[in-house]
Structure 1
Amino acid sequence: MSTQTMPGPAPGTARRLMVIIVGLAALVTLMLTAFALPSVNSGPHAVPVGVTGSQAATHSIDKALDDDQWHVTAYPDTTALTAAIQDRDVVGGLVVSDGGIELYTASAGAPSATAALTAVADAVAERQHATTTVHDLVPFTQDDPRGAGLSAAALPMILGSLFPAIVLTRLFPGHRGLRTRVAGVIAFSLVAGTAITAFLQFATGTVDGNFALTTLGLSLGMAALATTFIGLESLMGFAGIGIGSAVMMLMGNPLSALSTGPHWLPTGWSTLGQILPPGATGSLLRANAFFDGNGAATPALTLGAWVLGGLGLLLIADRKGSRGALRAANTDREKESEAENKARAGV
């Protein structure tokens, strides 16, 4: 009676399996790091605030605010302080007088920092046996007083930019379809930016600023994401889309600070979040929708750099594809010439 032995694993299988396991473990760790670590360490981090009042009063406020949590700037009067808030130089400010404490905020710009600053103002007022009067200069809309629609916008924007990249790649593959994919992505970004703005402004009432300005900002954000996905795919295939979507969803989404404002994350995480397209898009949306474009320059330039980077990847892929097509054409001509020579020799 003969016995059969099971075939052993192919050479290198164990090594490939180990690489896959380590890679998946690293991915899970990255997800945990991106989602959990910033949340655990969330809180005010060098939040810019203003104070005005007598020298003794402003000095006492300055001492009451932790230097690691708050960055305090003194202003000569209330007018200068409120102008700084509306220009987004500070997120809020305290006016200290004999009659009590007046707190000026812009909750639509930094909701979590506003809540923390309110608690600080109440504590200071309690120690001085005074009262706190709150003036919210830039609140959320009455239809969405907590900005819930804004908080929920990051992931749909990422997925909304990912899907057309996949669809266009399927419909117009290869080097021949490259320019069609670029045109499709740009057209999609304009349409999607308009649609998202219309939804946030007319369906949920989350924003009520200049419609055209908000639309342009969101279209730029969608273009930054979509061109990046298309550019990575043009060089690396679907692996490029996988890498891009992993970075944007696992890092860009939790670090976007759409629900809290960027000053609520640790400094390094906050900076990274504002460099990535979801965070920059959120900051641009806040600037355009609530602050008449104040503070829009930095996120707009950031998103513009991502668009140029994506187009740069597409240009590299286009040149590589053109050289490949030229080599293929030369090879075909050489084969045809060789076949003709053989045919003549046979005659």
Structure 2
Amino acid sequence: MSTRSPQTSHPSGTVPGRTAGVTAGQTPDGTPGVTPWHRVLGLAVGLVTVVSVVVLAFLWPSVTAEPRDLPVAVAGSAEQVAQVEAGLAQGAPGVLDVTAVDDRDAAVALVESRDVYGAIVLGAEPEVLTASAASPVVAQLLGQQATALQAQVDAAAAAQGVPAASVPTVVVTDVVPLSPDDARGTTLGAATFPLVLGGIAGGVAIALVVLGTGRRLAALGTYAIVGGLAIAGILHGLGGLHGAFLADSAAVGLTLLGISGTIVGAAAVLGRPGIAVGPVLFLLVANPLSAAAMPVEMLLAPWGAVGQWFPPGASATLLRDLSYFPAADTTLPWLVLAGWAVLGVVLVLVGHRRTWSAPVPSADDPLAASGRA
């Protein structure tokens, strides 16, 4: 004779953990559960708002970009420089910002130190100096100035009765050309966005997976060093970077550390909401303002200068200088990248102190328990 296990009776025949008369996917009245209309419409409108902000953030800099106050040098006598400035003010107002120099050598020095984008050399041998490595767009713009300068030389020669065969021809010289491996500069210009994504991905992953302040700092350091060497190696192999390998690796590593460290530090201080710092600050704000593919001066003031104080902008400037402009002063971008790296480490340590001064967190929340070493 078989025996049956006694069954426990529950009020109204309900199953433990469920409301009486309600099955999975049903509302209390027994009908299939559906999302309320106000939540559906609110979600749709919210998603459209987010997408609109992303599209605006990425397109606004390029749509509003235009040549303005681009620094160039003009070599010649005071009278000749004044004539060129007057001609530029009439033909291209507000486009070029002229710096007068004594001779061609002084103009070349300014171009090689990246203080100007190019130069106009006047005199018996007129010449236009460009630097496509600084900006192919500005180099093309200055090349157009050679045509205008030639017209002025021809007019002056005709007024003086100089034979056409004796009129000098304006020469265009690319003082700092792009490498043949990256003749259009697309590889170097496109490198900034993957670096931003890499920094964000590394920061989010470390914040979510790694527990313990010491272990997080070790993960950040390892990620920055190995990532800097690997990415610099890839960019060198593709022809995008041409500076000293270790210097390029340090620049890339500091960029990754500045972005990922800030995210991990924000998560340590703010908890899970701190992870949103990365996409908002670095992807939607800093990356569009980095001026990686255009001159800083082409962005609306003061946003071009502001972008240079974030890792994407500082990294783009530093890598270009290391590759093509060894005479340029790279102090500011190095300090900016180092500053963000230090900020990330400090935030991680502050989060550690905050966690230990707070009540003991639940072990179920990795972010809440992340301050433990």
TM-score (norm 2): 0.77
Matched, 1:106 2:147: no
Indicate if the aligned counterparts of 1:256 and 1:278 stay in contact, CA closer than 8 A: yes
Q: Distance in 2 between matches of 1:150 and 1:5?
A: 61
The number of equivalent residue pairs is 318
Q: Report how far residue 26 of structure 1 moved.
A: 4.4
Change (3 A) 1:111 1:239: farther
Alignment equivalent of 2:56, drawn from 33, 38, 58: 33
Matched, 1:184 2:216: no
Alignment equivalent of 1:171, drawn from 195, 199, 209: 209
Matched, 1:211 2:237: no
Structure 1 residue ranges without an equivalent (≥5): 329-347
CA-based RMSD of the aligned residues comes to: 2.7
Indicate if the aligned counterparts of 1:50 and 1:93 stay in contact, CA closer than 8 A: yes
Q: Deviations over 1:46-97 (max 9, x none)?
A: 1111001122321121123345222110001111111111112111111012
Structure 1 or 2, whichever has the larger Rg, is 2
More helix by share: 1
Residue number in structure 1 paired with 2:263 = 229
Indicate if the aligned counterparts of 1:38 and 1:269 stay in contact, CA closer than 8 A: no
Counterpart residue identity of residue 233, structure 1? A
Alignment equivalent of 1:282, drawn from 316, 336, 339: 316
Alignment equivalent of 1:244, drawn from 278, 287, 299: 278
Alignment equivalent of 2:111, drawn from 85, 108, 111: 85
Change (3 A) 1:103 1:282: same
Q: Distance in 2 between matches of 1:64 and 1:189?
A: 50
Indicate if the aligned counterparts of 1:53 and 1:77 stay in contact, CA closer than 8 A: yes
Matched, 1:305 2:339: yes
| SS, match of residue 196 in structure 1 | helix
Change (3 A) 1:87 1:23: same
Counterpart residue identity of residue 119, structure 1? Q
Counterpart residue identity of residue 331, structure 2? A
Question: For structure 1, which segment, 258-267 or 146-155, has the greater mean C-alpha deviation from structure 2 after superposition?
Answer: 258-267
Q: Report how far residue 28 of structure 1 moved.
A: 3.3
Structure 2 residue ranges without an equivalent (≥5): 1-28, 155-167, 363-373
Alignment equivalent of 1:58, drawn from 81, 98, 102: 81
| SS, match of residue 98 in structure 2 | strand
Indicate if the aligned counterparts of 2:189 and 2:316 stay in contact, CA closer than 8 A: no
Matched, 1:266 2:300: yes
Counterpart residue identity of residue 191, structure 1? V
| SS, match of residue 113 in structure 1 | helix
TM-score (norm 1): 0.82
Counterpart residue identity of residue 113, structure 1? V
Question: For structure 1, which segment, 129-138 or 206-215, has the greater mean C-alpha deviation from structure 2 after superposition?
Answer: 129-138
Alignment equivalent of 1:118, drawn from 139, 143, 147: 143
